[in-house]
């Protein structure tokens, strides 16, 4: 494998930055001048290069297109007022990426390519990172099978890439959520804990049905009883019941171990909340709602950060919330944003300087 010093850099002649209103960008629409590319074959990584962002040439027989051997991560970087820039917890995403790779029978990506390559890429395109509050650089590392043949087996060759997208808030308004009773996101023994591309494709139909009903996303339930909470759309989910924050545990391998989820658990405890990672049934949620102890519900994720849920529908019961009265989720979002943007001390060493 090539050493990190051998990452070649080929710069664009003219940046496209001036053509983009960097402070008013929708999520995932614009991409920076450069991208990182690396190839895997014969058991090693090679051709590690930062080069101009451009289309790829892929054979119609590309294995990933036919058999779905593809994984990705979502990470964010922020510019501080003093001009420095930081990535939020990239080593946690690096470890999770390789856990996904193992589950999908793909090669491990070395840290010097994943983390250091990402740092070099961001250093080159740092001016694309918005300075506006609640804006960031969304970082998308991904890997896919590169064999040019049809046959159900792990590919022998792969391509790893990192692309960058300046972005604003993912969910700007509190969401309305429908509890999904038929379709499921993941099953024990499956790939729910992996950030595999197919997980997201499989979720689209149920989400589309919810949107036809006027809802923004679905709350996924367990595969067997449709009784226990899993994830909310593409996010982990938290419920504030009494003085306790409850989020589904990760023991069955059906839920993604979110980096924002882990950060939220730490900060909620610092805010004085009891935090429980355990199975949570819809019956317990409904009982707490009727008793008046169900106070807040929100999603957490890299793209969304903290996303408030103002309505939760289960069968004929519509649970509505006055998000203006909430305390936990708004304060949690304020704290995590303040740390990311450099306005409060990073006591947990979550920021990695570019």
pLDDT in tens, 268-277: 999 999 999 9
Question: How does pLDDT run across 197-237, given as a tens digit for each residue?
Answer: 999 999 999 999 999 999 999 999 999 999 999 999 999 99
Same domain, 28 and 159: yes
pLDDT-derived band at 1 (thresholds 50, 70, 90) equals: very low
Token pair 């989820």 in the structure block, residue: 261
Say if residue 5's pLDDT is above 70.
no
Same domain, 136 and 218: no
In whole angstroms, give the CA distance from residue 26 to residue 41. 36
Question: How does pLDDT run across 48-62, given as a tens digit for each residue?
Answer: 999 999 999 999 999
Give, as one character, the DSSP assignment of residue 110: P
pLDDT-derived band at 3 (thresholds 50, 70, 90) equals: very low
Same domain, 207 and 319: yes
The pLDDT of residue 25 is 87
Structure-block tokens of residue 204:
């689209």
Q: Which secondary structure element, helix H or strand E, spans residue 208, and what is its range? A: helix 197-212
Mean pLDDT of the chain, nearest integer: 95
**Is 346 a domain residue?**
no
Mean predicted confidence (pLDDT) in 59-70: 98
Same domain, 103 and 202: no
Same domain, 67 and 185: no
The pLDDT of residue 23 is 80
341 Cα distance to chain centroid? 18
**Is 351 a domain residue?**
no
Same domain, 93 and 217: no
In whole angstroms, give the CA distance from residue 190 to residue 252. 9
Same domain, 188 and 311: yes
74: CB partners within 8 A, 6+ apart: 93, 138, 139, 140, 195, 301, 302, 303
The pairs formed by 107-110 with CB atoms below 8 angstroms and a separation of 24 or more are: 107/40, 107/43, 107/45, 107/158, 109/38, 109/45, 109/141, 109/143, 109/160, 110/1, 110/45
The pLDDT of residue 321 is 97
**Is 336 a domain residue?**
yes
Say if residue 22's pLDDT is above 90.
no
Please report, for the domain that includes residue 265, its CATH number: 3.20.10.10
Cβ burial 182-198 (10 Å sphere, 16+ → b, else e): ebbbbeeebbbbbbbbe
Say if residue 141's pLDDT is above 70.
yes
Q: Which secondary structure element, helix H or strand E, spans residue 313, and what is its range? A: strand 305-314
Cβ burial 96-115 (10 Å sphere, 16+ → b, else e): bbbbbbebbebbebbebbbb
Domain coverage including residue 106: 4-169
- CA atoms within 13 Å, Cβ hemisphere of 104: 32
Domain finish residue from 116, 135, 169:
169
The pLDDT of residue 127 is 95
Question: How does pLDDT run across 275-315, given as a tens digit for each residue?
Answer: 999 999 999 999 999 999 999 999 999 987 999 999 999 99
DSSP letters, 152-198, are SS--S-EEEEEEEEEE--S--S-EEEEE-SS--S--TTSSTTS-BHH
The pLDDT of residue 6 is 87
Same domain, 240 and 150: no
Same domain, 243 and 201: yes
Q: Quote the number of domains for the chain.
A: 2
Q: Which of 21-30, 89-98, 239-248, 315-324 has the lowest mean pLDDT?
A: 21-30
Say if residue 2's pLDDT is above 90.
no
Q: What is the pTM of this model?
A: 0.95
Token pair 């050493």 in the structure block, residue: 3
The pLDDT of residue 168 is 85
The size of the chain, in residues, is 354
Give, as one character, the DSSP assignment of residue 279: -
Same domain, 179 and 157: no
| % residues pLDDT > 70 (the chain) | 98
pLDDT-derived band at 246 (thresholds 50, 70, 90) equals: very high
Same domain, 159 and 223: no
Mean predicted confidence (pLDDT) in 319-335: 97
In whole angstroms, give the CA distance from residue 292 to residue 283. 14
193: CB partners within 8 A, 6+ apart: 99, 103, 186, 250, 253, 254, 255, 256, 257
Across the strands, what pairs with 44? 41
**Is 160 a domain residue?**
yes
């Amino acid at each position: 494998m090539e050493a990190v010093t051998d990452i070649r850099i080929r710069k664009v002649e003219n940046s496209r930055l001036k053509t983009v209103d960097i402070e008013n960008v929708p999520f995932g629409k614009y991409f920076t001048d450069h991208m990182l590319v690396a190839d895997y074959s014969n058991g090693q990584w090679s051709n590690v290069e930062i080069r101009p962002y451009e289309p790829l040439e892929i054979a119609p027989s590309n294995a990933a297109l036919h058999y779905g051997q593809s994984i990705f991560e979502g990470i964010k970087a922020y510019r501080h007022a003093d001009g420095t820039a930081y990535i939020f917890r990239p080593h946690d995403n690096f470890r999770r990426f390789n856990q996904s790779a193992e589950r999908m029978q793909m090669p491990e990506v070395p840290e010097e390519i994943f983390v250091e390559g990402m740092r070099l890429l961001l250093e080159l395109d740092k001016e694309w990172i918005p300075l506006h509050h609640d804006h960031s650089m969304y970082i998308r590392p991904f890997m896919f099978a590169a064999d040019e043949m049809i046959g159900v087996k792990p590919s022998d060759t792969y391509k790893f890439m990192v692309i960058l997208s300046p972005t604003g808030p993912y969910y700007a308004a509190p969401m309305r959520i429908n509890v999904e009773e038929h379709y499921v996101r993941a099953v024990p023994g499956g790939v729910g804990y992996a950030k595999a591309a197919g997980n997201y494709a499989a979720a689209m139909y149920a989400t589309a049905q919810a949107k036809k009903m006027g809802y923004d996303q679905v709350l996924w339930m367990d595969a067997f009883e449709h009784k226990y909470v899993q994830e909310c759309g593409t996010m982990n989910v938290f419920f504030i019941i009494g003085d306790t924050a409850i989020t589904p545990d990760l023991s069955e391998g059906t839920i993604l171990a979110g980096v924002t989820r882990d950060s939220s658990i730490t900060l909620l405890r610092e805010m004085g909340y009891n935090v429980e990672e355990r199975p949570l049934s819809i019956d317990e949620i409904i009982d707490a709602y009727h008793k008046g102890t169900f106070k807040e519900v929100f999603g957490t994720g890299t793209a969304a950060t903290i996303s408030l849920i103002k309505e939760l529908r289960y069968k004929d019961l519509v649970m509505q919330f006055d998000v203006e009265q909430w305390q936990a989720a708004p304060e949690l979002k304020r704290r995590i944003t303040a740390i990311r943007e450099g306005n409060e001390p990073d006591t947990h060493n979550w920021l990695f300087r570019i």
